């Protein structure tokens, strides 16, 4: 093959080829809007100049402790400045940020800190009890830094220093470390899948940059944007809005926990323009007491995902001044991968028809290269008939590098050259995707993924249980809740459902425990496989 004229003496160099990284957004914002408010947290706020300096101090202080490329820094914190700063300060050393789900139990946290080989843990005192227990299971050294957030409840000090003192050790003029290559890891996010132990999803700088830009385009972020942190930042790095809001010089408004009264108050006070959250978050706002529902002039663009927003929620949100858009994605796709893009002709539809359009997962995010509903065996596309089921598959620069130290799972997820989401759905005539079922037995409750297999494994540890199967049951408040079907051992005598639930809560994160226990024989196929489909139907009809 001959080299053409466009391939001669036109090589990459430092002037024209630079690794893409979302870290540069902070430099841009601090340069362009140094005195603009970057972060608000209660009574406290930071300008972009201050925000950047705090991130550089964090990076510098971590570097002084020897943290750099290939190291993991874990953070256990709610939506607060330290968690946001870690999204810059940690990768600015070359290291990898591991934002922890603060709802997890000690055992799982311990597993993650061990598996991810965390060298530093920055932890909010609200979670000291769980963290103390998790640290007890660790068999490697770890630097623990306590966050003393004045807005946090009291909690034990676990570390050798606190976050603000640690920042004081850092140099605000630190020269941050560009990734050698945009494929370099930036974040490590654990997901609960179908197996008991969570899998570590590895993000790279290229994908984080891309999906942050996608968030800007999809949600129309600009310098006037005020983003309220109703979505936990540990969820796919806040769907990459941690970086996207900064990319335009918008304002981050932190929120430690989802409290409707605070959401309304902050929305009015700071003129919030944009927020994200699972349908449960929207539901809490709709059902908030009337006296906390302040009115405000702006319309708040509200992006929801994790489950389809029900029509009552859409209507309720609209009445209060929120415009809802449905997104879909997974930890493996840096958060949002699809968007239910609005069509002008939907303006004329009634609420139910409009809601059923809006409940679909939609078309690809502008930064997603391709999505397709395929027959997972033949890898052929299904027809756009709204009926033929297939598996949703993705191809994109915004798909993870893979699972950490788990080549088998990575290979399985990427078989055939596509990322297999494990979600089953159809392609409608108008090109919109709709998820109908999950091939993985994951229950999404309050925006959290719960592995039914993990619950089953816990149930199987109960001395009286012989067989167990867990499925999702629709729930008005939580979207879904786990419903367990069990058969008892012949000699076990009577066991109360409440006892089994208590047993589960003692052995796993509380939110994962089944809400309902059904006793009786399990329906099975001729080959002895439990028919979860039948159980799902049964669960809905209880």
Instruction: Choose the stretch contacting a copy of itself; rule: CB under 8 A; options: 128-136, 178-186, 299-307, 491-499.
Output: 178-186
Residue 449 bridge partners (DSSP): 444
Task: Name, in order, each residue with C-beta under 8 angstroms of 154's C-beta and a sequence gap of 6 or more.
Answer: 125
Residue 18 in contact with a copy of itself, rule: CB under 8 A: yes
- Say how many C-beta atoms besides its own lie within 10 A of residue 278's C-beta: 25
- Say how many C-beta atoms besides its own lie within 10 A of residue 376's C-beta: 16
Instruction: Choose the stretch contacting a copy of itself; rule: CB under 8 A; options: 30-38, 126-134, 152-160, 436-444.
Output: 30-38
**Chosen residue from 5, 173, 498, 542 binding a copy of itself by CB under 8 A:** 5
Asked if 51 and 80 touch (Cβ cutoff 8 Å), the reply is no
**Which residue, 202 or 426, has its beta carbon nearer to a copy of itself?**
202
Residue 323 in contact with a copy of itself, rule: CB under 8 A: no
Give the pairing type, strands 161-162 and 143-147: parallel
**Cα(240)–Cα(233) distance, rounded to whole angstroms?**
9
Residue 376 in contact with a copy of itself, rule: CB under 8 A: no
Site string for a copy of itself, 350-369 (x = CB under 8 A): -------------xx-x--x
> How many helices (H) and strands (E) are present in the chain, helices listed first?
17, 26
Span 428-447, contacts to a copy of itself by CB under 8 A: 431
Residue 419 in contact with a copy of itself, rule: CB under 8 A: yes
**Which residue, 24 or 306, has its beta carbon nearer to a copy of itself?**
24
**Which residue, 341 or 530, has its beta carbon nearer to a copy of itself?**
341
Instruction: Choose the stretch contacting a copy of itself; rule: CB under 8 A; options: 39-47, 106-114, 335-343, 450-458.
Output: 335-343
What is the closest distance, in whole angstroms, from the C-beta atom of residue 147 to a copy of itself in the complex? Answer: 25
**Per residue in 427-444, is it b (16+ CB within 10 Å) or e — as a string?**
bbeeebbbbeebebbbbb
- At residue 391, the 3 state secondary structure works out as strand
- DSSP alpha helix (H) spans, 441-496: 452-460
What tokens does 346 get?
Answer: 């939907």
Cα radius of gyration rounded to whole Å, the chain: 24
Residue 298 in contact with a copy of itself, rule: CB under 8 A: no
**Which residue, 18 or 312, has its beta carbon nearer to a copy of itself?**
18
**Per residue in 447-484, is it b (16+ CB within 10 Å) or e — as a string?**
bbbbbbbbbbbbbeebeebebbbbbbbebeebbbbbbb
**Chosen residue from 64, 65, 132, 401 binding a copy of itself by CB under 8 A:** 401
Angle at 114 between CA 54 and CA 176, to 5 degrees: 25
Span 180-199, contacts to a copy of itself by CB under 8 A: 183-185, 188
- The separation between the first and the last C-alpha atoms of the chain, rounded to the nearest angstrom, is 68
Residue 88 in contact with a copy of itself, rule: CB under 8 A: no
**Chosen residue from 165, 222, 299, 502 binding a copy of itself by CB under 8 A:** 222
Judged by CB under 8 A, the number of residues near a copy of itself is: 67
Label each residue of 58-118 as H, E or C. Answer: HHHHHHHCCCCCCCEEEEECCCCHHHHHHHHHCHHHCCEEEECCCCCCHHHHHHHHHHCCE
Per DSSP, the residues of 156-200 read ---SSEEHHHHHHTS-TT------SSTTSEEEEEEE--SSSS-EE
Residue 9 in contact with a copy of itself, rule: CB under 8 A: yes
**Which residue, 24 or 425, has its beta carbon nearer to a copy of itself?**
24
DSSP secondary-structure letter at 149? -
What is the closest distance, in whole angstroms, from the C-beta atom of residue 431 to a copy of itself in the complex? Answer: 5
Taking alpha carbons only, the member of 326, 418, 425, 419 closest to residue 373 is 425
What is the closest distance, in whole angstroms, from the C-beta atom of residue 408 to a copy of itself in the complex? Answer: 9
Instruction: Choose the stretch contacting a copy of itself; rule: CB under 8 A; options: 167-175, 215-223, 258-266, 471-479.
Output: 215-223
**CA distance readout (Å), 124 to 27, 61, 149, 346, 421:** 27, 18, 7, 45, 33
What is the closest distance, in whole angstroms, from the C-beta atom of residue 35 to a copy of itself in the complex? Answer: 9
**Which residue, 8 or 526, has its beta carbon nearer to a copy of itself?**
8
What is the closest distance, in whole angstroms, from the C-beta atom of residue 204 to a copy of itself in the complex? Answer: 9
Instruction: Choose the stretch contacting a copy of itself; rule: CB under 8 A; options: 16-24, 227-235, 268-276, 315-323.
Output: 16-24
Interface positions with a copy of itself (CB under 8 A): 4-18, 20, 24-25, 28, 31-34, 69-71, 96, 117, 183-185, 188, 202, 207, 213, 216-217, 220, 222-223, 247-248, 341-343, 363-364, 366, 369-370, 394-397, 399-402, 404-405, 407, 410, 414, 417-419, 431
């Amino acid at each position: 093959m001959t080299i053409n004229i466009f391939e001669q003496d036109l090589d990459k160099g430092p002037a024209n080829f630079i690794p893409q990284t979302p870290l540069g957004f902070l430099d841009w914002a601090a340069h362009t809007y140094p005195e603009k408010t970057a972060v608000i947290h209660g009574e406290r706020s930071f300008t972009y100049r201050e925000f950047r300096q705090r991130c550089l101090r964090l990076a510098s202080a971590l570097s002084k402790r020897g943290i750099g490329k290939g190291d993991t820094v874990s953070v256990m914190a709610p939506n607060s400045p330290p968690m946001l700063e870690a999204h810059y300060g940690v990768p600015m050393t070359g290291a990898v940020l591991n934002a922890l789900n603060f709802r997890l139990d000690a055992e799982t946290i311990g597993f993650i800190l061990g598996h991810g080989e965390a060298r530093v843990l920055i932890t909010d005192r609200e979670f000291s009890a769980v963290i103390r227990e998790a640290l007890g299971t660790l068999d490697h050294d770890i630097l623990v830094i306590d966050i003393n957030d004045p807005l946090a409840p009291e909690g034990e000090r676990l570390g050798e220093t606190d976050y603000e003192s640690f920042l004081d050790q850092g140099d605000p003029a630190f020269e941050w470390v560009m990734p050698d290559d945009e494929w370099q890891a930036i974040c490590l996010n654990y997901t609960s899948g179908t197996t008991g132990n969570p899998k570590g999803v590895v993000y790279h700088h290229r994908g984080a940059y891309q999906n942050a830009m996608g968030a800007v385009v999809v949600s129309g972020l600009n310098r006037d944007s005020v983003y309220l942190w109703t979505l936990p930042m540990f969820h796919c790095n806040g769907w990459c809005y941690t970086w996207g809001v900064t990319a335009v010089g918008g304002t981050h408004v932190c929120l430690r926990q989802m409290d409707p009264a605070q959401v309304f108050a902050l929305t009015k006070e700071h003129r919030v323009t944009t927020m994200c959250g699972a349908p449960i978050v929207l539901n809490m706002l709709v059902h908030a007491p009337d006296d906390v529902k302040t009115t405000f002039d702006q319309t708040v663009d509200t992006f929801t995902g994790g489950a389809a927003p029900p029509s009552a929620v859409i209507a309720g949100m609209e009445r209060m001044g929120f415009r809802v858009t449905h997104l879909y994605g997974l930890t493996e796709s840096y958060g949002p991968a699809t968007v239910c893009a609005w069509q002008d002709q939907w303006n004329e539809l009634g609420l139910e028809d409009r809601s059923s359009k809006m409940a679909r997962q939609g078309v690809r995010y502008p930064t997603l290269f391709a999505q397709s509903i395929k027959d997972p065996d033949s890898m052929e596309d299904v027809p756009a008939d709204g009926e033929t089921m297939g598996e949703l598959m993705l191809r994109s620069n915004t798909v993870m590098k893979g699972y950490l130290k788990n080549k088998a799972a990575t290979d399985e997820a990427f078989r055939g050259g596509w990322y297999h989401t494990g979600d089953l759905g159809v392609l409608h005539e108008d090109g919109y995707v709709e998820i109908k079922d999950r091939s993985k037995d994951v229950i999404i409750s309050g925006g959290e993924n719960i592995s039914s297999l993990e619950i089953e494994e816990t149930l199987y540890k109960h001395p009286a249980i012989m067989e167990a199967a867990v499925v999702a049951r629709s729930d008005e408040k939580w979207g879904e809740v786990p419903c367990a079907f069990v058969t008892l051992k012949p000699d076990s005598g009577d066991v109360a459902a409440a006892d089994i639930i208590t047993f589960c809560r003692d052995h796993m994160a509380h939110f994962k425990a089944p809400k309902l226990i059904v006793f009786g024989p399990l329906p099975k196929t001729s080959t002895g496989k439990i028919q979860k489909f039948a159980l799902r139907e049964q669960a809905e009809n209880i």
